[in-house]
Amino acid sequence: MKRLLNVIESIAAFFLLAIALLTFGNVLARELLQTQIPDWFDLSKQLQGIAIFWGIAIATYRGAHICVDLSWEWTNDAGKRWIDIVATLCILAFLLPLAWMVWSKLGSTGTQTTSDLRLPLVWFYAVSAAGVTATAALAVVRLVQLIRGTVDTSLELANG
């Protein structure tokens, strides 16, 4: 499982790096060459969507969401577990329809392309759809682990 999580985290990091490099490259091109990288805006939007979906997968599995956890901190271990179960169920109730809609968008993309380079959008949507599917799958894994009481806390981020 750790290897799978490392791969998912690396995918999110790679696309985040790609956005940073694309943006940096475009700024350099604008300032030094008075031109722009073709499709930099379309590409940055697509890459950002991919990075977000894959990043949410890791945050969902680790239970490392940005949240207000005042009530969670004051409750006992059983209460914390139930709060985590309810929260994960809510997230899953959002992620399953989201995954369905991204796959539907992928299916209806047809021959849409970016404006300058005419890159097919279907490939960007496919990677995004895989990311949101990984997110939903990891939410299910976390839910099962929470219900069984077998959450691997060594994989969770420090809450702090």
pLDDT digits (tens, 9 = 90+) for 10-65: 998 999 999 999 999 999 999 999 999 988 888 999 999 999 988 888 888 877 65
How confident is the model at residue 158, as a pLDDT? Answer: 42
What domain count does the chain have?
1
Q: Is residue 144 part of a domain?
A: yes
Q: Is residue 146 part of a domain?
A: yes
Instruction: State the residue range of the domain holding 113.
Output: 2-68+75-155
pLDDT digits (tens, 9 = 90+) for 82-140: 888 888 899 899 999 999 999 998 899 889 998 888 989 999 999 999 999 999 999 99
- Please give the Cα distance from 129 to 134 (Å, whole number): 9
Q: Is residue 20 part of a domain?
A: yes
120 φ, ψ to 5°? -65, 130
Please say if the pLDDT value at position 70 is more than 70: no
Rounded mean pLDDT, 130-152: 90
> How many residues are given for the chain?
160
Q: Is residue 29 part of a domain?
A: yes
5 is written with which tokens?
Answer: 């999580």
Task: Write down the pTM of the prediction.
Answer: 0.75
- Please give the Cα distance from 106 to 118 (Å, whole number): 17
Q: Is residue 60 part of a domain?
A: yes
Q: Is residue 160 part of a domain?
A: no
The alpha helices in 34-120, defined as continuous H runs, are 40-62, 70-74, 77-108
